[in-house]
Amino acid sequence: MLIQLQADINPAQKEAIIQKANELKYKITEVITQQGHYLVGTGKADFDVRAVGNLPGIKDLHIVSDDYKLVSRKWKVNPTVIDFGDGLRVKEGEFTIMAGPCSVENEAQVEKTINHLVEQGVRFMRGGVFKPRSSPYSFRGLGLEGLKMFYDMCRAKGIKVVTEVMQVSQIAPMEPYTDVFQVGARNTQNFNLLDELGKVDKPVLLKRGISGTIDELLYSAEYIFSGGNEKLMLCERGIRTYETASRNTLDLNAIPILKEKTHLPVIVDPSHGIGIREYVEPMALAAIMAGADGIIYETHEKPEEAASDGAQTLSFSESERMIKKMQKTFALRKELGN
């Protein structure tokens, strides 16, 4: 069960609720987030909800059969809205675009990308400064100093920074210069990292593991939420299958399934999902029609010269064309009532 507590609950009332739940053989975990105060109860015994639900201090009580209770749509029917201020939100019913290079390389590259995004009305720039690479000899990013430069240039133009965090020790130094912490596919089940991100009052974009199931993605999200951070977005970025014609297999099935299972926004990454530049656009449009709340993709002035992932990165002209098509596709989806 999931118990939402009233904001003005006193310690005696809370203790009475916990004691009653324990009597019903339910183990209680207390969760305090930026937006609510919850008691998560795990157990198997059937009980009359009135035995608990009528106790003072309870705002609402929900029976949630999913093991991932806090991110489940079974208790929170209204979708999560992540508000960045200045009218900038990520939410169901609106469409968000996040774009930028795989890796932040230098000031000139960042400036050109920002100018491209501003011209297209895009408010989120993605870019890695700590890069998890398969080879230790590949470019691994500019580090914290690169992030500071990236952040300052974006802030001057009203752009929000989306960047990947790879380990617990990076969170604190990155936090002042990051608007959205991205958890990459390799770290989706780095539970120590997820626990610590639960303590941060910054949005987190959680990518699906390269071989992870939908439920495993939701379990990982539960770690962050139960740690105290409700500002969560999920990202379908393709999974590894036996197919070798593309880098990964973008799982479009996951989009409507996630929209049914969770109240969290669902963002899709077609760049990593297929890994082939000329196919990024059709996969992005398909993801929109499948119900995605946003698209995150890679763009670079000269993809062939990109420090990483050039094969899946769009040029600025290709990016401009795709943005226009995505906006038309989203408008069509709304017209069709999806």
Q: What is the pLDDT of residues 153-188, one digit of tens each?
A: 999 999 999 999 999 999 999 999 999 999 999 999
Mind listing the pLDDT tens digit for each residue in 82-126?
999 988 999 999 999 999 999 999 999 999 999 999 999 999 999
* Cα 333 from Cα 259, distance rounded (Å): 15
**Spacing of C-alpha 248 from chain mean position:** 19
Counting beta carbons within 10 angstroms of the beta carbon of residue 254, is it exposed (0 to 12), middle (13 to 18) or buried (19 or more)? buried
Nearest to 169 by CA among 141, 130, 120: 130
Q: What angle do CA 134, 139, 144 make, to 5 degrees?
A: 110
d(CA 195, CA 28): 18
Q: Is the pLDDT of residue 200 over 90?
A: yes
Tally of CA atoms within 13 A in the half-sphere of 318 that contains its CB: 21
> pLDDT, tens digit, for every residue of 30-79?
999 999 999 999 998 788 888 899 999 999 999 998 999 999 999 998 99
For 266, the 3-state DSSP assignment is: strand
As given in the structure block, the two tokens for residue 179 are 């608007």
Cβ atoms of residues 211 and 238 within 8 Å: no
Residue with tokens 């109240």: 263
Please count the other Cβ atoms lying within 10 Å of the Cβ belonging to residue 240: 13
- The number of residues in the chain equals 338
pTM of the predicted model as reported, rounded to 2 decimal places? 0.94
